[in-house]
Amino acid sequence: MEIKQSTCNYCSIACNMDFHVEDNHIERVTPTKDYPVNHGFCCVKGLNLDKQNTLFKNPKTPLMKDEQGKWQSISWDEAFKAFATRIKGIQEKYGKKSVAFLSTGQLLTEEMALLGHIGRDYLGIDGDGNTRLCMATAVVAYKQSFGFDAPPYTMNDLELSDTIILVGSNPVVSHPILWGRIRKNKNYKLVVIDPRKSETAAHADLWLSIRPKTDLTFLYTLANVLIEKGWIDEAFIEKYTEHFDEFKEHVKKYTLAEVEFKTGLSAGKVLELAELIHKGKRVSFWWTMGVNQSYEAVRTAQAIINLALMTGNIGRPGTGANSITGQCNAMGSRLF
């Protein structure tokens, strides 16, 4: 049995998998041993990748619906010709730009590049990817904060952090291998900021059940507390940031006296988190679609980034302001 390696396309962790192939059919899927991302592990989704090819029993050729709506086998030549004929027919009738392509972050970079090359260079059409939209808020936040769209972290940072703060993220369910990397860390405090007690929140040292749509108020209040108590890295701020005084002035109005009324969190909970950040030597902030597809998402992501910057928790192992995507090649598809 031949083994072919590829990447799981279900979530952003992009685990490497071994596909056990016989007679051009995937018999089973196992995680690649010693791969630096998943370390020989995968979740149940990855183990069932072979099921993607079994919607139709042993399909040998492309399928097309007949006039009765039933699937019928056709040759590859017929399939390519039917596809090309229909595309060209639409363009001739309505113009070249009447056709477009839409991709996802589940396509690997090489596949995405080929799709873009065929679409733009041969068909003269435009294309887009769902990840450019679903991650648009994080993209803007990163570009405005750093000048480029690239989260500054590696998976190893999870194992090196002594304080891990998850905002709107539930990796126990959505990114199980990432959660496994957290569990490998034997010396960390876990903070979960989430309106509901998720599967991840159940494991937290500190769960902050924030009222929906108040993330920004909470984060600005937290920033104000850190500033007032002097729990910031002034040398880092001076060397690597701009306009901190303006930010400091902006968050002054977000006070502990009002935080409970606005967010549902007690002042004591906010102070507890502020103290954890202050005591932490390697603090990392992580968020997913609970931020990126929510209310005031760009500013919320920027507020998280600002917390990392003002405390000097960026650019070192075990730190960072880290947005986690939902698909394995979300960043790659945005580039194309």
Can you give the CATH number for the domain in which 194 is found? 3.40.228.10
Give me the pLDDT at residue 122, please: 85
Predicted TM-score (pTM) of the model is 0.86
Whole domain around residue 41: which residue ranges?
2-53
pLDDT by residue (tens digit) across 24-56? 788 899 999 989 888 899 988 888 888 876 555
Are residues 36 and 185 both part of a single domain? no
> Among residues 37, 53, 69, which one ends one of the domains?
53
Residue 124: inside a domain, yes or no? no
Instruction: Measure the CA–CA gap between 34 and 154, rounded to whole angstroms.
Output: 17
Domains contained in the chain, number: 2
In terms of average pLDDT, the best of 36-50, 94-108, 285-299, 301-315 is 301-315
DSSP-derived 3-state class of residue 151: coil
Phi, psi of 22 (to 5 degrees): -140, 130
Quick check: is 250 in a domain? yes
Total residues found in the chain within this entry: 336
